[in-house]
């Protein structure tokens, strides 16, 4: 009951509360194994239900509009965000030594969260991202601003590393307003990358690797309707490529009327 009361007093999202409970569960498991307690009370505490967040990606036209309206200092940052799917912390911690123009890859090796730098959030997040042409162009432009002045690729007006809250309040939201676009979280740059790639026909596995996912679960959960090859989920491919040819082949030995009836079902 003490734990339930503790949960009830937390003023944050259900996802955040579940994350807080992770170390709490670990503490009691250790206490149980060490013999300090006879029963683990956390076995009676369930995680809170988390509603699936709605994605609000930008279209290609909206991306172009945004890049046209965003302050010049931050245009390369957002151009890279839209066309790599990198997390904000990964971009804030990006160093020039991890940008390989020769191989055309960005090496994600660190992340910056609340001014503390460390390894990316998961093993899959440590990855090499292929630089698409818009990303190469943006990085070449960014070289003029920070290369030789700092080890970091992106800096704010004061020459310091980027802070999520500041960019969100002073750059992202005002630019959306200028573009007359509905407000949405800064994280939508990542969703925008995924939906643009999938909608253009890129393989889900490639998109997952670019984003740092170790499997296709997240892609299927969040972006299923954007996957080109998956949008036609009515069995039309089987009927057109397998069933119809077999019917036509068998039709050589059937009366014309029976063949016509069989194929009419396929066409429908």
Instruction: Please provide residue 105's backbone torsions phi and psi, each rounded to the nearest 5 degrees.
Output: -135, 150
- Give pLDDT tens digits for 18-28: 989 999 999 99
**Does residue 204 contact residue 219 with C-beta atoms inside 8 Å?**
yes
Position 200 scores a pLDDT of 86
Alpha-helix residue ranges (DSSP H) falling in the chain: 2-8, 14-34, 60-69, 75-84, 88-92, 133-146, 164-167, 173-178, 188-199, 204-211, 217-223, 228-231, 236-238, 244-250, 256-267
**Does residue 58 contact residue 116 with C-beta atoms inside 8 Å?**
no
Higher model confidence: residue 17 or residue 259? 17
Which among 240, 243, 242, 193 has a CA at the least distance from the CA of 219? 193
Position 217 scores a pLDDT of 83
Position 243 scores a pLDDT of 56
Position 128 scores a pLDDT of 95
Averaged over 114-136, what is the pLDDT?
A: 87
Averaged over 96-120, what is the pLDDT?
A: 91
Helix, coil or strand: residue 134:
helix
**Does residue 111 contact residue 118 with C-beta atoms inside 8 Å?**
yes
Q: Please give the Cα distance from 151 to 162 (Å, whole number).
A: 13
Position 175 scores a pLDDT of 98
73 pLDDT band (50/70/90 cuts)? very high
> Which residues sit opposite 112 in a β-bridge?
117
Q: Please give the Cα distance from 80 to 78 (Å, whole number).
A: 5
Percentage of the chain beyond pLDDT 70 is 84
Q: How big is the CA angle at 193 (ends 155 and 102), to the nearest 5 degrees? A: 60
Q: How big is the CA angle at 23 (ends 20 and 29), to the nearest 5 degrees? A: 135
**Does residue 213 contact residue 127 with C-beta atoms inside 8 Å?**
no
Position 233 scores a pLDDT of 46
Positive/negative CA dihedral, 55, 60, 65, 71: positive
Position 93 scores a pLDDT of 96
């Amino acid at each position: 009951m003490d734990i339930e009361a503790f949960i009830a007093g937390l003023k944050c999202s259900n996802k955040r509360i579940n994350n807080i409970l992770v170390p709490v569960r670990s503490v009691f498991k250790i206490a149980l194994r060490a013999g300090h307690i006879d029963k683990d009370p956390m076995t009676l505490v369930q995680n809170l239900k988390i509603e699936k967040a709605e994605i609000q990606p930008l279209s290609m036209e909206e991306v172009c509009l945004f890049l046209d309206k965003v302050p010049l200092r931050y245009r390369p940052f957002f151009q890279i965000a839209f066309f790599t799917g990198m997390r904000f912390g990964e971009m804030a911690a990006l160093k020039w030594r991890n940008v390989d123009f020769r191989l055309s890859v960005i090496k994600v090796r660190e992340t910056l969260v609340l001014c503390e730098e460390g390894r990316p959030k998961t093993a899959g997040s440590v990855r090499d991202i292929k630089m698409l042409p818009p990303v190469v162009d943006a990085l070449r432009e960014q070289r003029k601003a920070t290369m030789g002045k700092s080890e970091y690729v992106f800096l704010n007006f004061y020459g310091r590393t980027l802070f999520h809250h500041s960019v969100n309040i002073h750059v992202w939201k005002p630019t959306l307003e200028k573009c007359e676009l509905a407000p949405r979280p800064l994280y939508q740059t990542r969703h925008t990358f995924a939906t643009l790639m999938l909608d253009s026909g890129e393989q889900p596995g490639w998109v997952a690797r670019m984003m740092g996912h170790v499997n296709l679960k997240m892609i299927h959960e969040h972006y299923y309707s954007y996957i080109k090859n998956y949008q036609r989920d009515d069995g039309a491919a089987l009927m057109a490529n397998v069933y119809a040819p077999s019917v036509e082949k068998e039709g050589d030995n059937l009366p014309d009327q029976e063949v016509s009836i069989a194929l009419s079902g396929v066409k429908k």
